[in-house]
Amino acid sequence: MILFANAKINIGLQVIARRPDGYHELNSVLYPLPIYDIIELLEIDSAETILNMQGEHIPGNRVDNLCLRAFLLLKEDHDISSVSIDLIKQIPIGAGLGGGSADASFVLKGLNTLFHLNLSNEQLEGYAARLGADCPFFVANNPVFATGIGSDFKPLDLNLDAYHIAVIMPNIHISTAEAYAGVQPKIPEINLEEAIRLPIQEWKFHIRNDFEDGIFERYPLLKEIKEALYQKGAVYASMSGSGAAIYGIFWDKTDLSEFVRYGKIYQPSKI
């Protein structure tokens, strides 16, 4: 079974308050982005599940990989056989694009199909939430207005198919802890759920990512990339999540070859 696990972008990200459990209350719009990791799941006659990875380097211990954790989570409740998980990593790491979360959720969905578990999306989202705050988004994989710790979703009627989204990923990797250290939670002045319904050319006046101020001060190259995207004609540009990827939304596909000086350029199209 071949799966194409897509990325996401955040359109606006408001950090509202720090919770007693250490998490933060957030508002954000999550939107699917057609940059894909490729995952192959194959049932095998083995005592243990095997994970093979290639492509973008994934830091940390292989045992802690979210794909393996997704398998083990389902195996706790369901009699499923071992599988081989072959992951071709193409979504950049430490980018704020949700690649690891997407991989985990797509493994859950793939195992559900492979072993005929007949789990509903609601059940899959319950498993996904135990793996990470972003993970449940990739189950239904539709635009949402996210609240709570980023895992409470309200469906959103938002379609950007008429536009072209480009992503610039510099050689900068920002940890979640580093990102939160530079942000001051506050009650937002703008209602993001209402602002996202404005014409897209007005977004830049109303919709912002609260992580940008602190991160741009530490990494001025990211601010430079955002400003360069606007100069190139982007109708809206922003850092995604806690960074470091910067995306621009354009009316049409635009030649961004000059942006190679900043890092990798992604100008994706849907499969």
**Residues known to be catalytic:** 8, 134
Whether 167 contacts 233, CB under 8 Å:
no
| CA atoms of 192 and 222, how far apart (whole Å) | 23
| CA atoms of 179 and 185, how far apart (whole Å) | 12
